[in-house]
Amino acid sequence: MFERASSEAKAAFGNGAMFIEKFVERPRHIEVQLMGDKANNVVHLYERDCSVQRRHQKVVEIAPAPRLDSKVRCSILKIKAHVRRPMKARNRLF
């Protein structure tokens, strides 16, 4: 099966290189929205589960994310706010 997939890739893209990824059963797409000001103060607006998708487009967002372990939730929210601080990115309105 691997050989066949590799030959199809080579025929279609000119490169038969293949990547093998670990299968994740029942994956979830969890997002965290951040809000900051010009003084670089950042807060999170909690997490939401965006796993219900069609053609890679979110169909439903559920907040807060159901069945998300509280330790995982705290870790995600803490990391998101911490990682964002040094970026000093600003939104632009169009």
Is the model more confident about 25 or about 89? 25
pLDDT of residue 8: 93
| pTM > 0.85: yes or no | no
Residues 6+ apart with CB under 8 A from 62: 48, 49, 50, 52
Query: Domain residues of the chain, as ranges?
Result: 25-87
Residues 5-57: pLDDT tens digits?
999 999 999 999 988 889 989 889 999 888 777 777 778 888 999 998 888 88
> Residue 18 and residue 2: Cα distance in Å, rounded?
8
